[in-house]
Chains A and B, each alone.
Chain A
Amino acid sequence: MENKVLMKGTDALAEAAIQAGCRCYFGYPITPQNELPEYMARRMAEVGGVFLQGESEIASINMVLGAAASGVRAMTSSSSPGISLKQEGISFLAAMELPALIVNIMRGGPGLGNIAPNQGDYYQATRGGGHGDYRTPVFAPASIQELYDITMYAFDVADIYRTPVMILGDGMMGQIVEPTICRKRQKIDLPPKDYILDGAKGRPSRIIRSLILDTFEMEEHNWKLKRKYDLMRGKLPQHEEFMVADAKLVIVAYGTAARIAKGAVKRARKEGLSVGLLRPITLWPFPTQAIQDIAKKVKHFLVFEMSTGQMVDDVLLALGGKADCEFYGRPGGVVPTPMEITRIIGRYWVQKEISG
């Protein structure tokens, strides 16, 4: 039987990265994710990997770039303001098609904001985030086991598609402690790393670059990336459905908000309201198809986010006007209780005159 241990979010993520073969971590301190680099500082020494605290977020992401171009599994982690600083590097990673893992443990914003759990970086994460025409796969786990499993999977996705990948959590996901099975890495067939720079020994020299001055050549590179993103749109979307089968109203929420919403759905069910939950696990690519499938039967959706409303745009896009969709948000680092969300569900149920 596999060993189940109590693990904190940040530690689970770090250990999963180690188990996935990550051997280079570069980062800069920022709350609420400091336990992650602290864990890495100890563990990388044990496994003979590299831990280096950069002088800034910018330096750290560029160290990741150098390590990724070396062919090593590399990662960095930060929280909202720090992720803003990393965006230049993430754009370069996307342009150069280099695999890497970037972890954003979101906090309240904009600006310095606060250090409480928040979901205000959804737009930044799912729209590329930096300059230029690119996308980054984004995973939003909602339990520590899922955080562990997705971290391992994220490195494979990065290698398969040669892309930076983001794990989007929040202060709550980083801090909570849950029983977790620390699975070993399942090796899968990965494409050969025939792009890495390790000294041109016995082969022609290689270049890794993002500068493409010829407009037609740049256009072709953009279309090449687009084809890759389309491939990901087909293969990567993941979601969880909870009590959706007979639901008249479906809540859409991710990460910590989805955990709260799940509690609210259970309470609402006890009160006789047929409510379900759709939880996107991938935020980009968004589980658009799943929402459209549900919308064939369900005519009422309620999006709940710990922000003033960002993912709700993707839900509205998916619905295309075919179902009613409302939004409820708590920005600023406020974490509402399931009871509060249950009240919102009840109010919505009455307002919209939903029955059954």
Chain B
Amino acid sequence: MKKVFTKPKSLKDAPFHYCPGCGHSIIHRLVAEVIDELGISDCVIGVPPAGCAVLAYNYFDIDMCEAPHGRGCAVATGFKRAQPDKIVFTYQGDGDMAAIGTAETLHAANRGERITAIFVNNAVYGMTGGQMAPTTMIGQKTTTSPFGRHPEVEGYPLLITDLIATLKGPAYVVRHSLATPAKILATKKSIKKAFEMQIKGLGFSLVEVLSPCPTNWKLSAVDAFKFLESRMEKEFPIGVFKDVTKG
């Protein structure tokens, strides 16, 4: 009998600890499938963040090094500069990437570091229990914005992907969403392209993925995916922001 669906080789045989309906499991799988398809599992180094996905190294069957909170792009820079022939990627949440690690992220992008950043945006701090993130939307209630994020008090959501696309260093900057199966497949295509651009040495590549956090959004898994499409995609439009291979 022909096997049509199987666990990617780059994932260990370990059950995910993520909450039901969480997007991390899907994104882990997409990244692992891409690593398998590109045949780079023996020359790739992953840098997981502080946050829910810190335990990514329990699931990926590749070399992985934890980074201090927000410092993923700096740690990845160290790896890539020391071993230019390796494929290096970070896997970061919104707080990691767009609050505490804004400087590291922007400067690595601006230097055009030949690394790939997978940026998972769910508009809250997940692991710490649902506090306001740099990407929390106006009016969105979190444990530290209990009355809803108000621009006069907490400012506006930071669209770091849009910011990075204005720099000269990055080669490929895209935003995707996990809202539907078609969008999930499109996300995977971009993750693959981002890795390919690193392999070709074209520059920094960033794939932002809008991802559901049912637990901290206090929604069912199904409603969380609906919220992703009806709310998040309005605030964070999906699309290709920069692609140096397209004139």
Q: Give chain A's interface residues, CB within 8 Å of chain B.
A: 23-24, 26, 50, 52, 54-56, 58-60, 62-72, 74, 88-89, 92, 96, 197-202, 205-211
Q: By the criterion CB–CB under 8 Å, are A66 and B65 in contact?
A: yes
List B contacts of A23 (CB < 8 A).
82
Q: By the criterion CB–CB under 8 Å, are B82 and A72 in contact?
A: yes
Q: Is the C-beta of B75 less than 8 angstroms from some C-beta in chain A?
A: yes
* In the bound complex, CA of A63 to CA of B80 (Å): 9
In the complex where A52-B77, A63-B74 touch, is A74 in contact with B82 (Cβ < 8 A)? yes
Sorted from nearest, which 5 A-B pairs have the closest CB atoms?
A: A66-B78, A62-B74, A70-B82, A199-B43, A55-B107
CB closest chain-B residue, reference A73:
B82
Q: By the criterion CB–CB under 8 Å, are B74 and A58 in contact?
A: yes
Q: By the criterion CB–CB under 8 Å, are B41 and A50 in contact?
A: no
Q: By the criterion CB–CB under 8 Å, are A66 and B68 in contact?
A: no
Q: Which of A60, A89, A197, A209 contacts B45 (CB 8 A)?
A: A197
List B contacts of A209 (CB < 8 A).
54, 57, 64-66
Q: By the criterion CB–CB under 8 Å, are A198 and B76 in contact?
A: no
Say what secondary structure dominates the interface of chain B.
Answer: mixed
List A contacts of B82 (CB < 8 A).
23-24, 50, 66-67, 70-72, 74
CB closest chain-B residue, reference A69:
B65
CB closest chain-A residue, reference B71:
A62
Q: Which of A63, A89, A202, A205 contacts B63 (CB 8 A)?
A: A205
Q: Is the C-beta of B81 less than 8 angstroms from some C-beta in chain A?
A: yes
* In the bound complex, CA of A26 to CA of B54 (Å): 25
In the complex where A55-B107, A59-B74, A62-B68 touch, is A197 in contact with B81 (Cβ < 8 A)? no
Q: Give chain B's interface residues, CB within 8 Å of chain A.
A: 41-45, 47, 50, 54-55, 57, 60-68, 71, 74-83, 86-87, 103-104, 107
List B contacts of A56 (CB < 8 A).
103
**26 contacts across the A-B interface (CB closer than 8 A):** A24-B78, A54-B74, A58-B104, A63-B78, A65-B65, A65-B71, A66-B76, A67-B82, A69-B65, A70-B78, A72-B82, A88-B68, A89-B71, A197-B79, A199-B42, A199-B45, A199-B62, A205-B60, A205-B61, A206-B64, A207-B57, A207-B63, A207-B64, A208-B64, A209-B54, A211-B50
Q: By the criterion CB–CB under 8 Å, are A62 and B67 in contact?
A: yes
Q: By the criterion CB–CB under 8 Å, are A200 and B62 in contact?
A: yes
Q: Which of B44, B54, B68 contacts A89 (CB 8 A)?
A: B68
Q: By the criterion CB–CB under 8 Å, are A69 and B42 in contact?
A: no
In the complex where A24-B81, A63-B74, A66-B79 touch, is A200 in contact with B67 (Cβ < 8 A)? no
* In the bound complex, CA of A253 to CA of B94 (Å): 49
* In the bound complex, CA of A198 to CA of B78 (Å): 12
